[in-house]
Each structure stands twice: as C-alpha cells, then as structure tokens.
Structure 1
Amino acid sequence: MKNDLIELSKSKMIPIKSIVGYSILAIISGMSGFAFITVINKVISMSINPEIPQNGNYLYMFIGAIVVFFITRRWLSGGVISLSQKIFCNMRKDVMKLVIKAPYRNLQESKDQIYATLTSDVHSITNASLSVITFFSSIILIIACFVYMAYLSLSLFGLSIGIIAIGVGIYLLRSRKSDKLLKQARELESDFMNTFNSIIDGAKEININLDKGFDIYNDKLVGIVDKGEKTYTKAFVHYVNSELVSQILFYGLITFVLIYSGSLLELPIDVIIGFVLILLYLLGPIVSVMTLMPSMNQAKVSLGKMNKLKNDLKQMEYNDGIEEKEKRKFHDFNVFGLRDYSFSYGKDKFSVGPINLNINRNDVIFIHGGNGAGKTTFINTVLRLYDLDKGNAYINDQVVSEEDIDGIKELFSPVFSDFYLFDDFYGIENVDIKKVNYFLRLFEMEEKVTLKDGKFSSIDLSTGQRKRLALISSLIEDRPILVLDEWAADQDPYFRHKFYTEIIPEIVREHDKTIIAITHDDKYYDQADRLLKMEYGTLVEFQKKELEPMFSPMSMG
C-alpha cells in the first residue's frame, strides 16, 4: 500500500503535505483530550490521597484542554471534509484525463474496469483518506497512553502490553481471511458493471422483450449481487468477531487490574484508579484502529486496482493531441492514399485488407456491402481508431511518417451510425454563428433549433434530426473529409432525396469537402463519383461505366 500511496501522491491525486498537516492537527486535538484525562486522573488522586499537594490551577488546565480540543477539532473537521473532496475530485480527473488520451479500441476493452474504478474504488480510497488521519492520531494516542501507563506502574504496564499484544495478534491472524474476501468482493464489482452495461446498452431490445431483461437479472445480476453481499458480509463479520475477541481480553485486563492488582502487586488505590482510567481512555483509540482496519484494507485493494488501471492506460499508445500549428498540416491535400492497409481482430479472426485506395480531393465515395463485410472496421482503420497490422498512409504520394501519423485524424470529421451528439461545439474555437445558421437552414432545422449561448438550444429531437445536428457540428469543425456511416438511414424519403441530390453537391462544391459514406441507398449511387463494395474484408471498386446500367430507367423501374 505504501508504494501505491507514493505513486498516487506523485500524480497529485493525494496531497501528502495536506495529510501530514491535518495529521499533526489531529495529534494536537487527541493530545488535548489526553491532557484532559490526565488532569482528571490527577484530581482523583488528590481527592483519594491527601498527601498529594493541592493545586488550584487545575480549573485553568481543564479549560485550556477543552479550548484546544474544540479549536483543533473544528479546524480538523472542516479541513478533512475539504481534503476528502479534493482527493475524490483529483482521482476522478486524473483517471478521466487518461481515458480521454487512451486509444479507442483499448478503451472499449477496459470500460467495465474504468466504471468500477470511478465508482467503487474512488469512494473506497476517499473514505480511507479520512481514516488515515484518525488512524495515525490513534496510534500516537496509544503510544502516549503507554508512556503514561509505564510511569504509573511498570508491572501493570508489562501485563497490559502482553494482553494487548495477544489481542492484536488474534485480530491480525483472523483478518487475513477478511482481506482475501475483500479482494474477491472487489472482483465482483467489474462483473456487476459488465452486466449493468449490457442492460443499459441493450435497453431498446429489453424494452421490446422484457424476458431478456428478466433473464439477465435473474440468471446473472442477482447471482453477482448476492455473492457480493455474502462476501462483503462475511469479510466484515470476520473483522467484527476479531475485534470482539480483542475487546473481551481488554475488559478482562481492566477487571484484573481493578480487583486483584491491589492485593497481588501492593499498589495504592490512586494508582489503580488512574491506571483503569487510562485503560478506559486507551480502549477508544484501540477500537478505532481495529474498526478502521477493514476500510484501510479495502482501500489497499482499491489502490492496487486503480494503479493497475492507470498503468494499463499509460502503457497504451497515447494521443496527447496535436499542436495548434500542426493541426492543418495535411488539410491542403490533393490525394490521400492508403497502401496495403490491413487489420485483424486476432489470429483466425475477421480481418480487413490489404486495401489500396486513393481518395482525391472533392471525391464523393460511397461504400456498400453486406452486414459483417467489414465496412465499419475499414472506416475505423482509416480514422486510426484501430491500429493497423501493416500499411502506410500517403499525402500527395508522400508517405506519412510515424511521428506525423496522428495528424491524419485531423483530416476527418465523422458521423458514426452509433453517433453521439454533444450539447456544445466542444473543440471548436470561435464558432461561426452565421455558418451555423446557414447549415440549420440548409438542413431544415431552423424552426426546431436555434443557437443559444453559443450552442444548440435543444438536442431532444428525433434520431434523424439529431443526426442532422451531428453533421452540422462536423461541418463546423471545418475538416476536409466527412465520413458518414449510414447517415441517411434515419431520414424521411423527402430529406433523404434532398441530402443526396442537393446537400452533398453543395457542401462539396461550396465548402470544399470530400465525402466517404457507407450507404445502402442504391437509388442514389449515381450521385457518387466512385462506388466501392466491401466483400469479406476486401474492397472492390466499380468503374463509372459499370454503374450506368444500374441507373438506367429500365433497371430502376
């Protein structure tokens, strides 16, 4: 756990200086409480033993201890609340920044682990950050009490240390099994998130056929949740049983000191009472330490999981973004070429390529093919969402070097079939309001949506209308190549016709765009400059003269 904490502190998720400062404050607060019990002990000794000189300053000592306790506890409480929230927010920001920079495919494979980390692990570590201060100050108080006990009676102190050591040993031995159970319970969190995501992602299918949902719930989700409940319960019950055994030994020690120490060890009554008072006061910090151990161990598991996730994300090939001056490096291309582009999901799994293709500026390219032919996979390789097994990209017949390859992404602005419509023009500086309004009119959305505070007034629209807004956002990005995956599938017949016959020609001609579109609208294939067909991962291009029979009146009638 120490190494995990060091790594997190280096990332500035856990501000170690703040924790040290608040720990010192907690010690002062705890020692003021210890001073209070010491003064009580002294006053009791004075009352019992008249030989002890009377001192009238104890009232001021009481008041001083109470004032110091109140002030330090108040500062500590506010500081700890602020610190815990800072740790919580820093952890989330740190992980999310890594997520943003991570490659798409790796991110999809790790999303369940990421969800579990951002929910369960972050909360565990945040709660433990509060416990660390209490845990540390309790240890200091225990040491202070030990010193005072040794001062009162070395013989009773030796006996007490022996009993306490036995109790701690029993607790540590029994807690090993609890630690293993906590690790098992944490593993179930990823399984729960995986099942939860299948319910959320498949919500439409489940809504149509509730039996699917109830099968997932009854056959999978309930089992995971119940197992998690039993595992967590078993782990914490082990901790509680260990704690109770230790407390019984402690109460036995107090009973022995109070009843037998006077006769066996010939100790005066004021020392016995003082020792018992210290033992009673010591019980609080000891119980506190034992109570905090489960959350500390749970945090240890979470720290390990979080650091593993961070290391996994860091080991991925990062996209740190492209400097502003480099963003338009390839925007003036005439020909964008692909040579021997190949990608495979793994050995003996589906693959695409090798593909050789030249995309000329202002081309309108339609790609069609059956389901599972590899169209979307091919597009993902072009967009560099998937890392190639082999192949090179060319700009104007010049190969793009490895150090510049991320700049290829700056050529494209896609609208995926499973698109996400953002509620603002993120990543676009100085949004051209006139241009947005122009496109709203072109896409016949001006009566549905306006610009409000620099963003769309509403995105609560039909799927087809939301796709129009997504394409408008892509156009405002002003990148040279638009990539559209089944964009027109959700448009009504009238607007689909307008899109192919009016909008595409206008944005190519007036806005200098190149278009790559996956489409099955064969009625409009004649609007393409080039038609490509994907068959089992291989791309085949039809010549224009081969397309003419497809669009003759007889073939279309």
Structure 2
Amino acid sequence: MAIVENEVSVSDTQARGPAQTSLLREITSLLRPFWKVALLATAMGAASGLSTVWLLATVNRALHAGTGVSAVLLLSFAALCVVTIAGEIISDLGNGYVGQSVVARLRQDLTQKILSAPIEEIERFRVHRITTVMNQDIDIISTFTFGFSSLAIALAITIGCFAYLTVLSPAMSLIAVAAIALGSWAHAAARLRGRRGFEAAREAQDELQRQYRAITEGAKELRIDRRRRRRIRDTQLAVTIERIRSLRVRAMRIFMSANAFGSALFFVVIGLVLALHGTLSASEPVVSGFVIVLLYVKGPLAQLISALPLLGQAQVAVRRVAELSRRFSNSEANLFVDTEPGPETARPCMISMRRVAYSYPADEGASRFTLGPVDLDIRPGEMLFLVGENGSGKTTLIKLLLGLYEPRDGLILWDGVPVVADTRDDYRQMFSTVFSDYYLFDDIVLRPEQAAEAAGYLERLELGHKVVVQDGRFSTVDLSTGQRKRLALVHAYLDRRPILVFDEWAADQDPAFRRIFYTEILPGLKREGRTLVVISHDDRYFHVADRVVHMSDGRIRAIDTVAAEPRAARAAG
C-alpha cells in the first residue's frame, strides 16, 4: 500500500512536526493500482481544458473575421465543443471510479493494519483517534482524489490560456505573469499559515472524538450527575467545538484573503492592458482577445486556488493515515493465512516463562509500571489462579502469556521452544479468553455438528430462555452484564482450545452462578483436559485451583499448591 511504502519518511515527518511530506507523491502512490483509469481521466480532462482554450481563440477569431464566419471555423467550433464536453464527462466518470476505489483500498488496508497491529500500540493510540483516522481523514483523502482530475482540467486550461496570451502579446503576457507570480507568493505564504491551522484543528478533532465517546458510553452516569453533565457540555464539548470552528475559520480566512488579493491583481492587470495597449502597439483584436481570455482563466485559476484549503487538510490527513500505518506495522507471520492451526495447538502443552519482564511507557507525571522478571511454568491440564490486589500486574501477565504483548526481556517457551515473531500467532491459537473488558461478538464460528452443542451450553448457562443461535448468530446480546459474560463463555466453549484464560469472569455474576462457575464449570473444563488460568479475587474459592500464584507490584510473591484430597473434599462440599 502506498502509505506503508512511504512510512519511513512519514515517521521522520512526524518527528519534525509540520509536514515535509509530499502530498503529490502520496496521492500518486494511492492512485498507482488504478493508474490506467486515472491517466485516462486526467488526459481527457486536460484535453477538455485545452479544447476550451482553443474555443476561446476560435471565438476571438470569429468576432474579428472581416469576411464573416467560414464553414471551416464553424466545424472547428462544433468539434471543439464535442471534445470539451466528452472529455469532461469521461474525466468525471473515471474520476468518480478512482476516488471511490482509493477510499475502499485505504479502508481495506487500514482495517488489515488494525487487525494485525500490536495490541500495545492499539491501546496507546486509543480508539477515538483510530475512529477519526478511519472516518474523517480517509474521507478527506477521498474528496481530494475525487477532485484530482477536475484540478487537472483547471490546470490545463490555465496553462493553455497563458500560452495563448503569450502568442497574442508577449509584452502584455509579461505583465500578467508578474501579477500571477505575486499572487502565487501570497498564496504560498497563506498555505503555510493555513495548514498550521488545519493541523491544530485536526488535533482538536481527536479530543472531540474522545468527548463524543464519553457522552455516549457514559450516558447513564451523566444523566444522574447534573454537575458533570453541565461541565462536559460547557467546559469540554463547547470549548473543543469552538476551538475547531475558530481554527478552521482562521485558516479559511487566510486562504480567502489571499484569494481576494489574487482577484484584485487580475483586475489590475486588465486595467493596465486597457491603459497601455496604445503604448504596447496592440491591435484591437489582440486587446479584446487578451481581456476575454484573462476573464475566462480567472475561473479555472480560482478553482485551483480554492483547492488549497482542501490540499492543506489532505496533507494533514495523509500524514495521520501514514502515522497509523507506521505504528501498527507488525513483523509477525501467519496473521492472515487461510490454513488452520497445526495439531500442536490443539493438545495440552507446557508453557514456561523465563525471566519475562515488561514495562509500560511512563505517562507524564507518573512512574512507569514494570512487570517482572517472572519465572512461571503452566502445566498441561492444571488449574492456575492468579490473585493479588488491583494493579498488581495480573492482567499484564496474562497478556504476555497470550502473546498479546511481546516481552521486553526474557523468553516464553512453548514445550521448550521459544515463542518468536514467526510463531507467535500460531502459539495464540491455543488460547480462548474472556477478558474483564471483553468485546462480545454476536456471530459465532460453528461447525455443522456444533449447533446442538451451542444450544446445550446456552441452557447450561441459564440463557436458553433468552438467547438462541440463528444463522450463526446469537438472537440477541442485549442482556445484563453478567449474562453477556456468559455468552462470551459460550464462544470459549465452542472454540475447543486447550487453554482457557478468564480475567475476573465471575466478578459480574450473582452469588449462585459464581458458585456454579468455580465448583462446576471450571472443574468440568479441567476434566476435559483443558488448562485453566483464572484471575480471581474470590478467596473463598481459591481451594478449587491446583496452584494459586500471588502477585504484588508486578512480581510473583508466592505460589501455593493446594493438596488434591482437601481440594476434592471442599469442592464436593
């Protein structure tokens, strides 16, 4: 993908702040898969633009023809009209196809990037920033690419018009070129200042997206807290929205001021031509043709100039997309292979952590949390509990165990073989998980023989009266928090993977079903030969585990082994 191919330069750009990124290079790379259609659309657009200039010259000749309008001139006029209109239609059709293809390609590539991104990068980038890139930035790029051919038409008309002006009168064309140079300098300065405004507005968009999430996901809390509700409306949303409006209006005002300056220069040039045509020994046909062409070219030139704000926004958007692509790059293999995991992922195995350590980046004003070094063996078929206070490192440890985080130091061994980038995704296929912050998918992956099995699990989890499986989906997921977590457990059941990891699964269950989880569900899974790793705060059920690992401050402080006979007696009781 284009963005990926240029990610090194984009990284450097980000480090320096405002972009040195070549938007033309990025857009050209995006258009490369569709270069034939894009080239045809651009060529036909250019032909349409040049035909328009030729039409102007033809009309000027016809107006000053002393012998009247000839048949050849009329035929030329008709042919040029056909080329102009046909070129514009073909250019617009091709342009529409390319624009939509580019945005579809971008979305496909970026979704694949997100699906394969390191989990720690997704967590740091934050959902609201990803959403803004996927929606707003891609839409801006789409809008720019959609108008690419029309800009080519305007550019062709502008170049053709100035070439014709040079033919009419080199001396007067020098006056026009000097005015254009002065106007271009003003627009270059405006573009630099305006782009800074768009950069700042884009930063504020990330904050606005975060606030949108707060008012939707925190709707219940806000409804019962008037003070917070007013504060988020008046001091957060209103301030951010006003900041974005102000930054964009200021940036647009800079562009519009430069545009007005350019328009004034046009009329100054026309005034000078009319005033100096006698001095310059220009005939009446030359002067009238010069003025007509100048007045006409103002439109295409204004189109090019008016595209500058969009150009500034597109530069920001391309840089944001490239940043996401760069940060979400992953060296792991087998992430999108079609083959099923090998048989080694379907059998119980020994997993060993040897001097494993991991550190989170330090937030401003906060100390950095470090886990480890950790040495731990997880034996096939055992039930292991991870216990400790909140923030002791239990969830970080299981993310390392699952291969979601890559250790900063140490090794994870899979039956004695180190887990590396090329094998990490195969290694993950041994696990089924229900995280404390799980996402509940409403579709389930079922083999044909598993339909009755899924219904049985729903009954066992006391959900059969509320949920059924229809066309590979749960009929509803609009349930209580505890019931939704039971549906997540159905996924884990049906995956039939050898290792199950539960992150405080029972925390949202009522006391009766919590007892069922610890005394029936977990022992039942263990009898099937599954390895179980359970994060728990329910100390009254610690006895059902084979071993209990106590954690504190990112370290394993103790490992208790529960005797088999007392455990069986307590479970029965």
Q: TM-score, normalised by structure 1?
A: 0.88
Partner of 2:46: 27
Partner of 1:156: 172
**Letter in structure 1 aligned against 2:263:** Q
**Letter in structure 2 aligned against 1:418:** D
Q: What is the deviation of 1:40?
A: 2.0
**Letter in structure 2 aligned against 1:528:** A
Is 2:534 the partner of 1:517?
Answer: yes
Is 2:252 the partner of 1:233?
Answer: no
Q: What is the deviation of 1:487?
A: 1.3
Q: Does the Cα contact within 8 Å between 2:384 and 2:549 map onto a contact in 1?
A: yes
Partner of 1:437: 455
Q: Does the Cα contact within 8 Å between 2:41 and 2:92 map onto a contact in 1?
A: no
Partner of 2:304: 289
Greater mean alpha carbon deviation, residues 526-535 or residues 37-46? 526-535
Partner of 1:466: 484
- Which deviations, in whole Å up to 9, do the C-alpha atoms of 1:455-477 show, x marking residues without a partner? 22222222222111111112212
- The match for 1:104 among 119, 143, 149 is 119
SS class of match (1:356): strand
Partner of 1:508: 526
Q: What is the deviation of 1:479?
A: 1.0
Partner of 1:541: 559
CA distance in 2, matches of 1:485, 1:207: 30
CA distance in 2, matches of 1:398, 1:66: 74
CA distance in 2, matches of 1:39, 1:11: 39
Q: What is the deviation of 1:239?
A: 0.9
CA distance in 1, matches of 2:414, 2:567: 34
Question: What is the 5 A alignment of 1:301-450?
Answer: 301-314=316-329, 316-318=330-332, 320-321=334-335, 324=339, 326-345=341-360, 349-397=368-416, 399-400=418-419, 403-425=422-444, 432-450=450-468
Q: What is the deviation of 1:488?
A: 1.9
Q: What is the deviation of 1:24?
A: 0.7
Percent identity reads 27
SS class of match (1:520): coil
Is 2:63 the partner of 1:44?
Answer: yes
5+ residue gaps, structure 1, are: none
Q: What is the deviation of 1:446?
A: 2.2
CA distance in 2, matches of 1:143, 1:346: 53
**Letter in structure 2 aligned against 1:338:** M
SS class of match (1:263): coil
Is 2:87 the partner of 1:87?
Answer: no
Question: What is the 5 A alignment of 1:133-148?
Answer: 133-148=149-164
- Which deviations, in whole Å up to 9, do the C-alpha atoms of 1:173-231 show, x marking residues without a partner? 34332233222323323333344445455445434434334333433333332222212
- Which deviations, in whole Å up to 9, do the C-alpha atoms of 1:341-373 show, x marking residues without a partner? 333325753333333333232222233322222
Partner of 1:488: 506
* Structure 1 pair 326–454 and aligned structure 2 pair: CA distance change class (3 A): closer
Greater mean alpha carbon deviation, residues 82-91 or residues 539-548? 539-548
* Structure 1 pair 310–369 and aligned structure 2 pair: CA distance change class (3 A): same
5+ residue gaps, structure 2, are: 1-19
* Structure 1 pair 180–394 and aligned structure 2 pair: CA distance change class (3 A): closer
* Structure 1 pair 544–265 and aligned structure 2 pair: CA distance change class (3 A): closer
CA distance in 2, matches of 1:513, 1:86: 47
**Letter in structure 1 aligned against 2:102:** I
- Which deviations, in whole Å up to 9, do the C-alpha atoms of 1:355-410 show, x marking residues without a partner? 33332322222333222222222222211222223333334455556643443312
CA distance in 1, matches of 2:54, 2:178: 25
Q: Does the Cα contact within 8 Å between 1:322 and 1:407 map onto a contact in 2?
A: no
Q: Does the Cα contact within 8 Å between 2:341 and 2:429 map onto a contact in 1?
A: no
- The match for 2:133 among 90, 108, 117 is 117
* Structure 1 pair 143–353 and aligned structure 2 pair: CA distance change class (3 A): closer
Partner of 2:192: 176
- Which deviations, in whole Å up to 9, do the C-alpha atoms of 1:46-78 show, x marking residues without a partner? 2xxx2x464134443333333333333222223
Matched residue pairs, number?
Answer: 546
Partner of 1:530: 547
Q: What is the deviation of 1:35?
A: 3.2
CA distance in 2, matches of 1:397, 1:138: 66
SS class of match (1:265): coil
CA distance in 2, matches of 1:346, 1:547: 45
- The match for 1:254 among 258, 270, 286 is 270
CA distance in 1, matches of 2:336, 2:157: 54
